Amino acid sequence: MPDQLQTEHNPAPSAVAERFYSGALLRIRRFMAVLAPLLVVAAWWKFGLRSAVGFAFGCAIAYVNFHWLNRVIVGFADRATGAATSQSGQGIVFRFLLRYLLMALGAYVILSVSPASLNGLLAGLFLPVAAIGCEAVYELYAALARGV
């Protein structure tokens, strides 16, 4: 049988997989947005209000950090490929270092206000790990159930 023509209604399998996997970053952000409030409530129920507040701050810092890290990586890639819209190298490095400064500042504020919340803050910083785990399970499901 001759090769079948690929149409918009029947794209090549590699194109379908490429489109699916290119949406991973957006799905990870959505997982983070869904997991954060659920885990904050669980932390409040299990460990109390102070730990839950620290956890909420940790989740917020982790979400912003994840977003900024994505922007830094895109900036590095644009700079390396010579894209017309590439950002200045100093700006990229500044934002990269600013992420760590803000995390340290958040930890200092939490520690000075309520030392008991520090554990919650540190646990909240692992929100992207949980979201990436959810994405891995979803991709496994998509690969097995839908053949992506």
Rg of the chain (C-alpha set): 20
Helix (H) or strand (E) holding 28: helix 24-47
- More reliable by pLDDT, 115 or 40: 40
- How much of the chain exceeds pLDDT 70, in percent? 86
Q: What is the pLDDT of residues 62-113, one digit of tens each?
A: 998 898 888 878 877 777 777 656 566 677 778 778 878 877 887 788 778 7
**How big is the CA angle at 47 (ends 50 and 53), to the nearest 5 degrees?**
30
Q: If we measure between CA atoms, which residue out of 142, 139, 113, 132 comes closest to residue 53?
A: 113
* pTM of this prediction exceeds 0.85: no
